[in-house]
Structure 1
Amino acid sequence: MLFSQNNTRGEEPKRSFADRLKGGPNAKEKDTGKVATIDMYRFITLERDTTYLDTALTVEREYSHNYLRRDLFGLLAFPNEGQAYNTLQYSLTQHTPFPEMGFKAKHFNFLEANQIRYASVATPVTELYFKSILARGHSVDSFFAVNLSPNLNLSIAYKGLRSEGKYINELASTGSFRFMMSYNTTSKRYLIKSHFTSQDVLNEENGGITTNNDFESEDAKFKNRQRLQVYLTDAESFLRAKRFFVDHIFRVNPTAAANNLYVTHQFNFENKFYRYNQPTLLSSVGTRNVYRFGDAIVTSNLSDQTHYNKMYNKAGLVYENTTLGKFQFFIDDFRSNFYYNRILILDEGVIPSVLSRNINNVGGQYEYWKNKWHGRFLLSKAISKQTISNIEAKLDYNLNEDFQFVFGYQNISKLPNDIYNLYQSEYENYNWSNNFANEKINIISGEALTPWFDGSMQIATLTDHVYFENKSADNSQQLISPNQFGGTIKYLSLKLSKEITFGKFALNNTVLYQKVDQSQAVLNVPDLVVRNTFYFSNYFFQRALFVQTGITFNYFTKYYANEYNPVIGEFFVQQQKQIGNYPNFDFFFNAKIQRTRVYVKAEHFNSAYTGNNFYSSPSYPFRDMAIRFGLIWNFFN
């Protein structure tokens, strides 16, 4: 079928090339269209904290241009993108009273329900992220948001990675799909936020290098990292999770007034699955053979599978008074199953097939705003047989634009993650059933933003801390089991940040000091973590191009870092090898043209000159020098 069109181009006034490039109207025409301001492009968290779309190029954006899309200070990356991260800063750990599945080394890239952001945009918004990886593969993240009406927003996002890595058997492949919806009635009487996520991470597991001396010798034949012997050549792990989440609120009185009454409800259903496969059980270490994880009940094709699901409901009643603040009373129901498809009868006892939780809490929350003060106080306690409790207090004080202070306190009694209390494996030493006591954690924290420095402090005491340890005396074996430290651990962290500018140059500094007081080496962190960035910024070509280039220095003192175990996807405590006390330099060149930011970085460019003493954990070397390219591209009108 053919059809014709009317040629109306001749009736339109001619536009200059510059106007067509800018997409704007002719200079002689009067633009009567509406203009969308930047505060009309909002991103809102579950706690209703709001930020605006930001296309600036800053050193903070340089720090967050990575696989996790956030500042990695306090985390130490493994050799390949898409693998685990060793934790240098313990105060990054977030505590919730409910038990989680476990396999925490696999969850760094997983977005929890409170990390999902909901959009409200005046016009459709697209963000494209790309970064090259190590060896073959790519890392991408795309996001699209549109308001079908002023009250209804739909957003969709996908994050994917495939990286081959430089060592034998360390390919990483991950995917993260997110769909978000937010809606409110015009009168704001009813509001709902909902999302669906499907996330997975596949890792080939090599168990680390077998002989550190080969790596540290700087022998030219080992510059090709494929020549370094590893424990596992065909093992892999896979974690998959799907979540459906709804949070909505309804105002009982038809119109907003000085006194308002709300009914709230939150629903979270999550399903997870972890699988560890190892076709070949025997590992070669030099001229001898070892079983890396001890004896097994199979001779080959080992396959461990763990299933987990949870359902959480929370119903509340909120009374809001514009003078007195907001009072909330709630009751929640937490149900979870951590399970296998068999019951094991061993000499040590019976290993059940399932660990089920059924916890009910009641609690209240008070929120108050007054001039420069904002406070939030939460109290919850279980009324079921499995007792947990949580007390939280947070107080913000904004003196002015230059001075802001945050004070926090948390007292929590939490159930250990399920993997500590139940695990089944075809490895004989990886079967246990425990009933550990609740972990008790007290935290006092503070933050200060001033013209002179930004600082944060945390003082924590941990009682009945649960951890993993290696019971084997042979360094080539990992016989991991959970344990509970009945004493008290005292932890202190002090973090200071300051940027010094002089003309077009700047020096951005971050220093973290940590101290642990404990009778047994259970919580191990470096005493000092440092990052310094010296960089230059300037506009070029009549301010059409903005450039930032500089060098970043990273350093942490020596300490007994935790080691990684792929069978359980967790880190465990060790006292055989220290890592740290090596410099790490990165050179970067970043540029911005309109809404496009381009990133070029030479990571760890000093690796060939300062010795092969850099590790991510005792058996996993840190990354060699790599030149990587990336960009972030925003589209919106």
Structure 2
Amino acid sequence: MKRNLVLFFVFVFCCSHLMFSQQKTLGDKERFNNNTFVPRDTTNTNVKVKLSGKTKYTDYKILSFFKDTTYIDTTLTIKKHYKFNFMRKDNFELLPFHNIGQTFNSLGYQFDRLSLHPDIGFRAKQFFYLNVEDINHYDVPTPTSEIMFLTTMEQGQFLESFFTLNFSRRFNASIAYKGLRSLGKYRNSLVSQGNFRTTFRYETKEGQYTIRGHLATQDLLNEESGGLTTGALQSFINNDPNFTDRARLDVNLDDTENLFKGSRLYVQHDFKLLGKKDSLQQKNFTNLKIGHTFLSEGKSYEFKQNSSTSFLGTATATGAVNDRVENSFLKNEFFVEFNSKYVLGTFRVKSSLMNYSYGYSDIFNQNLPTNTRKLEGDGASFGADWNAKVKGFQLNATGEITPGNGRLSGTNLHGNLSYKKDSLFTIKASLLLNSKSPNFNFLLHQSTYNEYNWVNNFDNVRTQDLGFQFNSKWVNASANLTNIENYTYFGEDNQPYQSSENVTYLKVKASREFKYKKFALDNTIMYQNVSGGSSVFRVPEFVTRNTLYYSDYWFKGKPMKVQIGATFKYFTKYKANAYNPILAEFTLQNTTDIGYPTVDLFFNAQVRRTRVYFRVDNALSNVGNKNYFSAPNYPYRDFVIRFGLVWNWFI
């Protein structure tokens, strides 16, 4: 990973040198209010805005894994403000720990898109892990790059660099690296993470053959403190002036860390046997393709200590602890795809061959009856995808089944039907029926600690989710009703269980922004109710976020756009899950209620293609009681000022 980082920055430096040596770049002609800057609303694709003599912003395309097309956006909006964080996503439904790059507790859950196959687990480590569907491809007329920088919590920075170019109209490549190091305010809370990825996409002149793929390597290291000790917790709550320096507070663990690694190669290619021009039956059957998808991914999780401690349990040895588990997954998918008026769009038939291996190099605890070292197997799946469009209605459906009794066996059916009425509103309904094995760490786990060794033969978790979504210029709203059979969780004793009671979960969310002249109030509220299985599935009843801000262009000629405002966020009290550093999972607890308001202040500015962000997190932390926690024994962050920027270059 370090070698990849060095090579990447050498590459970026060379590209930057070439960029600034250009006699004529986009920046030479880009100005506000002279028809050469990207529009404020990049969703309006009818606006013809020139970035240079021959290009417009719609030429700089982002192609998602699902082949949706968006555009590289250099505007400053409140939605961009919400996404200015380490994940580059709006974390409204998440409760972060105090240090950047630590895990999140969950204020809400999403079940509208699930995979067919079990994963390695250790989910608290995977909030920052980029999966296949998180990797984008690009199509740009000129070399394009972006740098994001953000200060962290003591002795560290976050930097993400990205560069892409088209060698020709048909061949694009990109390279990116995300790096983070942050010491944290509390003892033993260091975060060090790296994420390298490179992509490519190519198609022949007539589009007969296309190929796209990516390579990603990721490592996520966290020191684990185990939270504050009982005495330190009281000092924090009582606001003892001797402990305003949070590094003076005692923690339960001082030589513990866990490391999650992953590497993946993904390639998809297809060959067109029959195009539109080859159709002999008035386009009744066109664009016949055959294709293949290859996926090879390896993940590992490692828990390390210099010496065992009674805080975590009873260990078989007093020396160093090094519990490591690995998981590999290999998949080859073959498909046939065609267009036809009889299916109202595109239809794909697919079949996959898969192989997995999960386990340990040795038996860590010979004194226990847990003598299973690995879980291995293979499987074959069959399925179809259907995309149809009739007037304003769009149907997207996918289905896949893996028959048999193995751990890969299961079914996944997902479909959504949407209707768009011009630019007034869009309505979408979705349905998910999913059955799959629990993650592997529920089935097999080994540790030097006696309490963390098990082998289970759990039933498949069956999930049904019905969703509705309404988007308009007046309000955006969504509702999801989810039923989960055989819900799998970790109990108070840190053991895995399957619930005998079905979990019935309702989530309703609505957002609306009100504007008056240069001021705006952006509101998001979420209501949740668990009518079944509430003893094992916990969420706050209400979560709300309200942002009041001022936005305007400053100085003569309007060279700078600014946003100044405050964000109020609140969630009602609930028994939030506790964090377990051995499992890197959240477990049930019945002693502590967590729920509180926070206020964040911000000043954002945009100058040409650079967005600058100043923010104050938890600005009122010095007012009132110290009752803000991310999980039991883990305080949320205190008052802190941070700075960051996002800078785009178009050569």
Q: How many residues align?
A: 597
Aligned-partner Cα distance in 1 for 2:304–2:364: 20
- Deviations 1:449-503, CA, capped at 9 Å, x for gaps: 12221001100001100111122xxxxxxxx211110211100000000000011
**Amino acid of the residue matched to residue 23 of structure 1?**
D
Name which of 623, 627, 639 aligns with 1:625.
Answer: 639
- Structure 1 gaps, min length 5: 1-18, 26-30, 283-290, 472-479
Aligned-partner Cα distance in 1 for 2:181–2:27: 37
Name which of 208, 232, 251 aligns with 2:253.
Answer: 232
Name which of 426, 436, 439 aligns with 1:414.
Answer: 436
Aligned-partner Cα distance in 1 for 2:632–2:109: 18
Aligned-partner Cα distance in 2 for 1:308–1:130: 33
Q: Which residue of 1 aligns with 2:34?
A: none
Name which of 316, 337, 340 aligns with 2:335.
Answer: 316
Aligned-partner Cα distance in 1 for 2:330–2:27: 51
Q: Which residue of 2 aligns with 1:216?
A: 237
Following superposition, the deviation at residue 92 of structure 1 comes to 6.3
- Deviations 1:234-258, CA, capped at 9 Å, x for gaps: 1011111100001112111255553
Change (3 A) 1:610 1:249: farther
Q: Which residue of 2 aligns with 1:127?
A: 146
Q: CA RMSD in A?
A: 1.9
Q: Which residue of 2 aligns with 1:553?
A: 568
Q: Which residue of 1 aligns with 2:35?
A: none
Following superposition, the deviation at residue 628 of structure 1 comes to 0.3
Report the 3-state secondary structure (helix = DSSP H, G, I; strand = E; otherwise coil) of the residue aligned with 1:214: helix
**Amino acid of the residue matched to residue 134 of structure 1?**
M
Report the 3-state secondary structure (helix = DSSP H, G, I; strand = E; otherwise coil) of the residue aligned with 1:303: strand
**1:187–1:255: 8 Å Cα contact kept in structure 2?**
no
Q: Which residue of 1 aligns with 2:270?
A: 249
Q: Which residue of 1 aligns with 2:354?
A: 334
Q: Which residue of 2 aligns with 1:602?
A: 616
- Structure 2 gaps, min length 5: 1-23, 31-49
Aligned-partner Cα distance in 2 for 1:197–1:92: 25
Report the 3-state secondary structure (helix = DSSP H, G, I; strand = E; otherwise coil) of the residue aligned with 1:266: strand
Q: After superposing the two structures, state which structure 1 stretch, 419-428 or 387-396, moved more.
A: 387-396
Report the 3-state secondary structure (helix = DSSP H, G, I; strand = E; otherwise coil) of the residue aligned with 1:486: coil
- Deviations 1:368-415, CA, capped at 9 Å, x for gaps: 012211101222221333230111111121111120111100011111
**1:202–1:237: 8 Å Cα contact kept in structure 2?**
yes
Q: 1:101-140 alignment to 2 at 5 Å?
A: 101-140=120-159
Name which of 489, 497, 503 aligns with 1:483.
Answer: 497
Name which of 266, 284, 305 aligns with 2:324.
Answer: 305
Q: Which residue of 2 aligns with 1:457?
A: 479
- Deviations 1:110-163, CA, capped at 9 Å, x for gaps: 110011000000100010000001111000111100000000001000000000
**2:97–2:634: 8 Å Cα contact kept in structure 1?**
yes
If the length of structure 2 is used for normalisation, what is the TM-score? Answer: 0.89
Q: Which residue of 2 aligns with 1:535?
A: 549
Aligned-partner Cα distance in 2 for 1:356–1:390: 22
**Amino acid of the residue matched to residue 630 of structure 1?**
G
**Amino acid of the residue matched to residue 577 of structure 2?**
N
- Deviations 1:516-557, CA, capped at 9 Å, x for gaps: 012551110000000000000001122111011100001100
Following superposition, the deviation at residue 23 of structure 1 comes to 2.2
**Amino acid of the residue matched to residue 641 of structure 2?**
I
Greater C-alpha Rg: 1
Aligned-partner Cα distance in 1 for 2:132–2:417: 24
Q: Which residue of 2 aligns with 1:192?
A: 211
- Deviations 1:573-632, CA, capped at 9 Å, x for gaps: 11111111x210011000000000000001111001132100000121000111000000
Following superposition, the deviation at residue 357 of structure 1 comes to 3.1
Name which of 16, 20, 28 aligns with 1:23.
Answer: 28
Aligned-partner Cα distance in 2 for 1:21–1:36: 10
**2:111–2:465: 8 Å Cα contact kept in structure 1?**
no
Aligned-partner Cα distance in 2 for 1:576–1:300: 33
Q: Which residue of 2 aligns with 1:438?
A: 460
Q: Does 1:352 align with 2:372?
A: yes
- Deviations 1:154-203, CA, capped at 9 Å, x for gaps: 10000000000000011000000010001111211111110000101111
Q: Does 1:49 align with 2:68?
A: yes
Q: Does 1:278 align with 2:293?
A: no
Q: Which residue of 1 aligns with 2:287?
A: 260
Q: Which residue of 1 aligns with 2:172?
A: 153
**2:275–2:287: 8 Å Cα contact kept in structure 1?**
no
Q: Which residue of 2 aligns with 1:385?
A: 405
Aligned-partner Cα distance in 2 for 1:131–1:452: 34
Following superposition, the deviation at residue 341 of structure 1 comes to 1.3
**2:539–2:574: 8 Å Cα contact kept in structure 1?**
yes
Aligned-partner Cα distance in 2 for 1:361–1:614: 47
Aligned-partner Cα distance in 1 for 2:154–2:388: 52
Q: Which residue of 1 aligns with 2:3?
A: none
